[in-house]
Amino acid sequence: MSIRVVIADDEDMVRAGLRMILEAETDIEVVGEAADGEQAIAVAGDVRPDVVLMDVRMPRLDGIGAARRLIEGGSPARVVMLTTFNEDEYLFDALRAGTSGFLLKASPPEQLVAALRTVAAGDALLAPSVTRRVIETFAGRGPAPRRPAALDELTARELEVLRHLARGESNAEIARAFVVEESTVKTHVARVLMKLALRDRVHAVIYAYESGLVRPGDAVERA
Could you tell me whether strands 78-83 and 51-55 are parallel, antiparallel, or unpaired per DSSP bridges? parallel
- Judgement on whether residues 51 and 151 belong to the same structural domain of the protein: no
What is the pTM for the complete model shown? 0.72
Same domain, yes or no, for 43 and 96? yes
Distance CA(58)–CA(41), nearest Å, equals 13
Q: What is the pLDDT of residue 126?
A: 59
- 13 and 62 co-located in one domain: yes
Q: Average pLDDT for residues 191-203, to the nearest whole number?
A: 87
Q: What type of residue is 151?
A: L
Answer whether residue 199 shows pLDDT above 90. no
Structural domain of 63: 3-125
What pLDDT is attached to residue 221?
Answer: 40
pLDDT of residue 205: 81
CA 129 to chain centre: 13
User: What are the C-alpha distances in Å from 100 to residues 71, 78, 91, 148?
Assistant: 10, 6, 11, 23
Is the same domain home to 26 and 121? Answer: yes
* In a shared domain, residues 100 and 154: no
Provide the residue count of the chain. 223
pLDDT higher at 220 or 143:
143
Other Cβ atoms within 10 Å of 211 Cβ, number: 17
Mean pLDDT of 54-82: 92
Task: Tell me, yes or no, whether 8 and 102 share the same domain.
Answer: yes
The DSSP code for 151 is G
Instruction: Assess whether 145 and 120 both reside in one domain.
Output: no
* Domain's final residue, options 65, 91, 125: 125
In a domain? residue 60:
yes
**Contact (Cβ atoms closer than 8 angstroms) between residue 8 and residue 59:** no
- As for how many domains the chain has, the answer is 2
What value does the mean pLDDT take over residues 103-131? 80
121 and 168 in a single domain? The answer is: no
Q: Are residues 144 and 121 in the same domain?
A: no
Q: Percent of the chain, pLDDT > 70?
A: 85
Asked whether the beta carbons of 192 and 198 are under 8 A apart, the reply is yes
**According to the model, what pLDDT value does residue 222 have?**
40
76 in a structural domain: yes
- Say whether both 10 and 120 belong to one domain: yes
Q: Is the pLDDT of residue 200 over 70?
A: yes
